[in-house]
Amino acid sequence: MRTIVAMVMAGALGVVSIAAQKPDRSAPPALGPAPSLRLPPVQKFTLANGLPVWLVEQHEVPLVQVNLVVRTGSSADPFGAFGLASLTAAMIDEGAGGRGALDLADAFDMLGAQLGTTSSFDASSVRLSVPVARLAEALPLVADVVQRPDFPGAELERLREERLTSLLQARDNPAAIVQAAFPRLLFGPEHRYGTSPTGTAASTTTMRVEDLRSFHGAHYRPDNAALLVVGDITAADARPLLERHFGGWTVSGARPEVAAVPAARQPARRQVYLIDKPGAAQSQVRVGGIGVPRSTADYFPLLVMNTVLGGSFTSRLNTNLREKHGYAYGAGSTFDMRRTAGPFFATAGVQTDKTAEAITEFFRELNGILAPLSAEELDKARNYLALGFPRDFETTGDLARRLEELYVFDLPEEYYAEYVARVQAVTAADVARVAKAYIQPDRFAVVVVGDRSVIEAPVRALKLGTVTIVPLDEVFK
Amino acid sequence: MRRSILALFVALAALAPLQAQAPRALSVPYAEFTLANGLHVILHRDASVPTVAVNVWYHVGSGHERPGRTGFAHLFEHLMFEGSKHVPEGAFDEWLEAAGANNNGSTSSDRTNYIIDLPSNALELALFLESDRMGYLLDTMSPAVVDGQRDVVKNERRQGVENAPYGQAFIELGTMLYPEGHPYSWPTIGYMEDLTAASHQDVVDFFRMYYAPNNASLVIAGDIDLDEARRLVEKWFSEIPRGAPVPPIAPPALTLTDVARKTITDRVQLPRVYLAWHTPAQYAPGDAALDLAANLLASGKNSRLYKRLVYDMQIAQDVFAFQQSQALGSVFLVVATARPGQSLARLQEVIDEEIARLAAGPLDPRELERARTQIEASFYRSMERVGGFSGKANQLNQYYVATGMPDFFEEDLSRYRAIAPNDIQSAVSAYLPRGRRVELSVVPGDQ
């Protein structure tokens, strides 16, 4: 049963002799050569209907992860129906193949399976984690959810109320407000990226069963999807099961073309937006602009640059706002990369009475990253990314998510094999070049959610640009 | 973010089910030894990815604080990253990041833990850093360093309490559940005035009292060679002197005899109700039955409270139930948020009906099997990861501290396998009485 490797307890004498020779603490110990990650091979095959399958064997724990990824997400929502992809994904497991929502949930629960249905701007995913012994029973249920959702009207009404209530609750939370306000003010209400994937109260209210059915029919199809399988199973064992439940999935007609989300233009000048949250103990601050698409050729230089700026604990933003000034519990920055350029932003929750001071420090760092980097800082960032990379491949869920990234963004098969080398190849000149190209502090939007009565005057005194007071309703409209 | 307070009531481990044809014994092979200075060390080899988790528990949490210095254990946790005699301020994080490591710490009422996840070639760096702050923290500690982290922690509190919807509720629950002076009566994040009062001398005293090797346990798990790992532990930790024995906590007796009721206001749109009961300590009889009861009540669409309040009646936006297991005694909690226009009184009525129904039985064996299957699968999922706050390294340390047996996985799971339907009924009847509990309502208004 269990193997316990008992080790003999250190005898007192032995310990004394060790303690007698104190270790040399004058410098941190030298590190040996970094280990390389042995990436397990991705086995690829195609089912009878053309549905591609990517499979990675991982036999450590008796679990299997199966992700069915559709290469269409919220970016395909028509104007006026923002939230359609998201609500479709949320509805497909609320009744499928003639089984009601409760029965379906019960069936997964009884197998010890976890099912998630979700969407992003670029994809919709059905994710199953199941003990391998129950995979054969779980797959037909997943096949129903993916291929034969029933979209019961009563379940739509229930989810609609749930979503409208969540939108109401978001107004309580300064972090949720800034998350909605920043893209809205940067991209505007008409651009798809200007509204959260879940849409608005108005679009949620008007969504009909026919809308969901037609979105599902148009995009959930074997020529627009892939099955990603990771876990305690071989391709030989998985293939017949997948063939049985997904190989017969067919749809008629051609796949509709989905127009790409248009690229947004960087604002011409810096603007400040203030949203009042009376009595707030902290201001939520977000500073940034239009970033880059996932396909950017500058991906690796940007990754390294952002790690230095705000992508790690010792990044400049966190060191400044948290460690040096104590204005915030934490600060960071992100490039949200999608098929079309998403937002870049630096962000923190800062104590109300230091809001203006904190904004000054944000700009100090955004301007500072435009100056050349020291070799030491560059090394630290590259090593942090490259040497920490293997941790992203530890669990079946981690690995399947990595495969999703490859599939959704059409990344080359050798992408992960080359990842470490490409990070290490980034030079200081590369970082300087991408900082200059993408960090444009004079054109960034500054969005602040906080107690206007305390912060407005000091923020105006910074003279960063026009200050606009934005009503909360505008953010969620 | 890192260095976070463990929420007082953390959701029961991500619930995921499993039921293999034949239950397969869970086992995490390990080696253990104790240094002469009392440091207990546990080693586990898992070479599936070339990384190592270094996990240190100090057996001190906010429950060991004294009134007037609440929040100190957590503030102290922050100071542990600020440098020690041979590690300049800032270098702890910089050296680790340059080696490809992530690190973090967390504080609960019972313990403080520190994690470093790093590539296997950098193990010795982690042991150097952990041993230096265990042995030499005070050499470089200054009032300025304390002031700096005091500001950070106050902002952590603002973010998690003052600026978070319903953020005051857990602080209220602590004072309603426990008598004054009880170690669980104050919040782990601490009161603002106590954070202001914390001094450099407090840091010195706390370190000497609690941060000695004999009050800590160290787990190293991952892609290691057991002999080499042991050699490195002996090299770096043996010189640290043993500290005085730590006196056990002597909590005052609980005094809740009937219903403690309170309503507070917060800047929220919707009212929320919290019902809380005192329940048996972690791993004590009744603890596992109440875990299962929480699952039966509020995990999944078919769970009793979710199905009635959220799915059928649609008068609640959400409902949660947890058995929050703790060393000195646990808390069972039910939380529900009303939909617009719905009253908390109605929510509470339904919650009481369902708890009464669970206590009265009979329980459908299939319903119990569903809950148990979910808990069983969560064990398997928890064994996929070595590091982090929920990986095997941390679990080995937690089991060791609570039971003396690092590889307690199978025994832990057996607790759930052994529960019969009538065990749930008796636990719910005994521990979730309607007449002895805390009822807290948070309603829209000023904070």
Candidates B117, B163, B377; nearest CB to A391: B117
CB contact under 8 A, A349 and B410: no
Chains A, B: CB contacts within 8 A come to 285
Model pLDDT for residues A373-422, shown as the tens digit of each residue = 999 999 999 999 999 998 888 999 999 999 999 999 999 989 999 999 99
For B316-342, b/e burial (b = at least 16 CB within 10 A) is bbbbbbbbbbbbbbbbbbbbbbbbeeb
Segment (H or E) for A469? strand A466-469
CB contact under 8 A, B97 and A312: yes
| Closest C-alpha to A89, from A122, A54, A135, A55 | A122
What integer is the mean pLDDT of A314-336?
97
For residues A89 and A215, the answer to whether their CB atoms sit within 8 Å is no
CB contact under 8 A, A393 and B24: no
Q: What is the mean pLDDT of chain A?
A: 94
Q: Are residues B153 and B266 in the same domain?
A: no
Q: Are residues B220 and B333 in the same domain?
A: no
Look-up of token digits 């020291």: A374
Residue B270 lies in a domain: yes
B445: left (phi over 0), alpha (psi -120 to 50) or beta: left
CA A16, CA A1: separation in Å to the nearest integer?
A: 37
Q: What is the pLDDT, as a whole number, of residue A14? A: 35
Q: In angstroms, what CA-CA distances link B281 with B36, B178, B378, B399?
A: 31, 15, 21, 14
CA B212, CA B131: separation in Å to the nearest integer?
A: 11
Q: Are residues B432 and B400 in the same domain?
A: yes
Type of residue at A133: A
Distance from CA of B65 to the nearest CA of A (A): 23
Residue B188 lies in a domain: yes
Using CA coordinates, name the residue in chain A closest to B46: A60
Domains of chain A: 43-246 (3.30.830.10), 271-404+420-476 (3.30.830.10)
Using CA coordinates, name the residue in chain A closest to B409: A2
Q: Would you say residue B12 has pLDDT above 50? A: no
Q: Would you say residue A16 has pLDDT above 80? A: no
CA A466, CA A443: separation in Å to the nearest integer?
A: 12
Domain that holds residue B62: 4-237
Model pLDDT for residues B364-379, shown as the tens digit of each residue = 999 999 999 999 999 9
| Least-confidence region, from A11-25, A141-155, A273-287 | A11-25
CB contact under 8 A, B36 and A9: no
Q: Would you say residue B276 has pLDDT above 70? A: yes
Categorize the per-residue pLDDT at B11 as very low, low, confident or very high, splitting at 50, 70 and 90: very low
Q: Which residues of B touch A106 (CB under 8 A)?
A: 300-302, 370
Categorize the per-residue pLDDT at A21 as very low, low, confident or very high, splitting at 50, 70 and 90: confident
SS3 A61: coil
Distance from CA of B281 to the nearest CA of A (A): 27
Model pLDDT for residues B85-97, shown as the tens digit of each residue = 999 999 999 999 9
Residue B248 lies in a domain: no
Q: Which residues of A touch B154 (CB under 8 A)?
A: 326, 351
Q: Are residues B204 and B279 in the same domain?
A: no
Segment (H or E) for A390? none
Q: Would you say residue A11 has pLDDT above 80? A: no
For residues A115 and A68, the answer to whether their CB atoms sit within 8 Å is no
Q: Are residues B65 and B156 in the same domain?
A: yes
Categorize the per-residue pLDDT at B361 as very low, low, confident or very high, splitting at 50, 70 and 90: confident
What integer is the mean pLDDT of B48-64?
96
Q: Would you say residue A123 has pLDDT above 50? A: yes
Residue B11 lies in a domain: yes
What integer is the mean pLDDT of B315-323?
98
Distance from CA of A74 to the nearest CA of B (A): 24
CB contact under 8 A, A10 and B95: no
Categorize the per-residue pLDDT at A6 as very low, low, confident or very high, splitting at 50, 70 and 90: very low
What integer is the mean pLDDT of A415-437?
96
Model pLDDT for residues B124-182, shown as the tens digit of each residue = 999 999 999 999 999 999 999 999 999 999 999 999 999 999 999 999 999 999 999 99
What integer is the mean pLDDT of B395-423?
96
How far apart, in Å, do the first and last CA atoms of chain B sit? 25
Candidates B97, B124, B384; nearest CB to A396: B384
For residues A292 and A335, the answer to whether their CB atoms sit within 8 Å is yes
Residue B253 lies in a domain: no
CB contact under 8 A, B239 and A22: yes
* Beta pairing, strands A271-276 & A445-450: parallel
Residue B141 lies in a domain: yes
CB contact under 8 A, A2 and B102: no
CB proximity list for B247: less than 8 A, separation 6 or greater: none
Q: What is the pLDDT, as a whole number, of residue A252? A: 87
ipTM entry: 0.93
What integer is the mean pLDDT of A47-65?
96
CB contact under 8 A, A61 and B383: yes
Q: Would you say residue B13 has pLDDT above 90? A: no
Distance from CA of A403 to the nearest CA of B (A): 17
Q: What is the pLDDT, as a whole number, of residue A392? A: 87
Q: Would you say residue B43 has pLDDT above 50? A: yes
CB proximity list for B366: less than 8 A, separation 6 or greater: A110
What integer is the mean pLDDT of A176-182?
98
Using CA coordinates, name the residue in chain B closest to A9: B33
CB contact under 8 A, B19 and A174: no
Candidates B51, B94, B370; nearest CB to A390: B51
Number of domains in chain B: 2
Residue B380 lies in a domain: yes
Look-up of token digits 């640059």: A305
Q: What is the pLDDT, as a whole number, of residue B315? A: 98
Q: Are residues B155 and B10 in the same domain?
A: yes
Q: Would you say residue B5 has pLDDT above 80? A: no
Categorize the per-residue pLDDT at A10 as very low, low, confident or very high, splitting at 50, 70 and 90: very low
Categorize the per-residue pLDDT at A36 as very low, low, confident or very high, splitting at 50, 70 and 90: confident
Helices (H) and strands (E) in chain A, counts: 18, 14
Q: What is the pLDDT, as a whole number, of residue A38? A: 79
Q: What is the pLDDT, as a whole number, of residue B128? A: 98
Q: Which residues of A touch B155 (CB under 8 A)?
A: 282, 322, 326-329, 349-351
SS3 A252: coil
Q: Are residues B232 and B313 in the same domain?
A: no
Two structure tokens written together for A465: 């640009």
For residues B146 and B71, the answer to whether their CB atoms sit within 8 Å is no
Distance from CA of A163 to the nearest CA of B (A): 9
Q: Would you say residue B6 has pLDDT above 60? A: no
**Kindly report the CA angle at A362 between A357 and A365, in degrees rounded to 5?**
125
Two structure tokens written together for A173: 């939370």
Q: What is the pLDDT, as a whole number, of residue B4? A: 41
- The CATH number linked to B17 is 3.30.830.10
Q: Are residues B197 and B305 in the same domain?
A: no
Q: Are residues B190 and B287 in the same domain?
A: no
CB contact under 8 A, B50 and A37: yes
Look-up of token digits 């069983």: B376
What integer is the mean pLDDT of B55-74?
97
Q: What is the pLDDT, as a whole number, of residue A9? A: 32
Two structure tokens written together for B179: 């008598």
Q: Which residues of B touch A388 (CB under 8 A)?
A: 100-102, 118-119
Q: What is the pLDDT, as a whole number, of residue A3? A: 33
Q: Would you say residue A12 has pLDDT above 90? A: no
Q: Which residues of B touch A282 (CB under 8 A)?
A: 155, 158-159, 162-163
Using CA coordinates, name the residue in chain A closest to B269: A169
Q: Are residues B48 and B144 in the same domain?
A: yes
Q: What is the pLDDT, as a whole number, of residue A413? A: 86
What integer is the mean pLDDT of B270-275?
98
Helices (H) and strands (E) in chain B, counts: 15, 12
Q: Are residues B194 and B267 in the same domain?
A: no
Residue B242 lies in a domain: no
Q: Are residues B225 and B269 in the same domain?
A: no
